[in-house]
Amino acid sequence: MAALRLARLNYSTHFARLSRAIIDISKMKSKIISKAVIFSAIIILIAGIILNPDAKALLFGSLKNDINKPAGGFDKRSPDSAQAVNNGGTDTGTEFPTAPSVVFKDGNGKTIDISKQKGKVLFINFWATWCPPCIQEMPSINTLKKQFNDTEILFLMVDVDDNYKKSNKFMENNKYDLPVYTAVSSVPQELLSGSIPTTVIIDKEGRVVTRHEGGADYMNPETMKFFKELTRK
């Protein structure tokens, strides 16, 4: 009987050790599997960012739907740009900076220096075909343009990728009547700090009255009022 109890004890001991070993092996496998899953997810994420334009836009801050104050105190008004645009006010109590000399060209090679367009209101939109918020606001910009002629507001849709052919094709495919431009000279950070879409509004006096980072609804009634007031001055 003693021998039998000893055999049972040894069996129980070995069984317990074997169970612990199986559990330890399972934990090791789980850790290995977890690491493999995490590593695979990282690879997929990196590939997605490289291959997917929307992911690239998200990574580089192109999906900003909120409006940030311009860097370097460029817009000297107290409200931020988005609020100013959507409230239709120009904050006449503020001194606005003069537009710098920046040259853009259209598909025919015709150039335009924004510092030499006094007497016209300029609507300058920096965008790209791979930028979702740029695409989202495009219909309202197109509708806005239809409300004014070129002698009232001059629209410049500036492709930040400098790919006129691709961006103009985008306009044609979507039946937008929006003129595409590319930059000839460098664009200062006062106008474009790196985020798109960015919209810059210059009044008839050649002053930058609004700098707006992020998407917007340009058919907002107060916004329409804002542009109409600019064209009357």
The pLDDT tens digits along the chain (233 residues) read 433 333 343 444 444 454 565 555 555 555 555 566 566 656 665 555 455 544 444 444 433 333 333 333 223 332 333 344 433 333 333 457 999 999 999 999 999 999 999 999 999 999 999 999 999 999 999 999 999 998 899 999 999 999 999 999 999 999 999 999 999 999 999 999 989 999 999 999 999 999 999 999 999 899 999 999 999 97
Does residue 64 sit within a domain? Answer: no
Same domain, 112 and 194: yes
Q: Which two tokens stand for residue 204?
A: 């008839």
Same domain, 20 and 101: no
Contact yes or no for 63/132 (Cβ under 8 A): yes
Question: Distance (Å, rounded) from C-alpha 231 to C-alpha 209?
Answer: 13
Amino acid 62: pLDDT: 36
Any idea what DSSP says for residue 78? Answer: S
Amino acid 34: pLDDT: 58
Same domain, 30 and 78: no
Q: Which domain holds residue 16?
A: 2-51
Does residue 40 sit within a domain? Answer: yes
pTM greater than 0.85 (yes/no) = no
Q: Which two tokens stand for residue 200?
A: 């810059």
Same domain, 149 and 227: yes
Same domain, 75 and 112: yes
- 137: helix, strand or coil: helix
Amino acid 8: pLDDT: 42
Residue 116 sits in a domain whose CATH number is: 3.40.30.10
Amino acid 213: pLDDT: 94
Same domain, 214 and 100: yes
Same domain, 32 and 130: no
Number of domains in the chain: 2
Same domain, 163 and 203: yes
Question: Distance (Å, rounded) from C-alpha 170 to C-alpha 172?
Answer: 5
Amino acid 10: pLDDT: 45
Same domain, 212 and 115: yes
Question: Distance (Å, rounded) from C-alpha 205 to C-alpha 119?
Answer: 7
Same domain, 75 and 47: no
Does residue 200 sit within a domain? Answer: yes
Torsional class of 103: left (φ above 0), alpha (ψ -120 to 50), beta (otherwise):
beta
Does residue 81 sit within a domain? Answer: yes
Q: Closest Cα partner for 125 from 229, 12, 202? A: 202
Amino acid 20: pLDDT: 60
Amino acid 194: pLDDT: 86
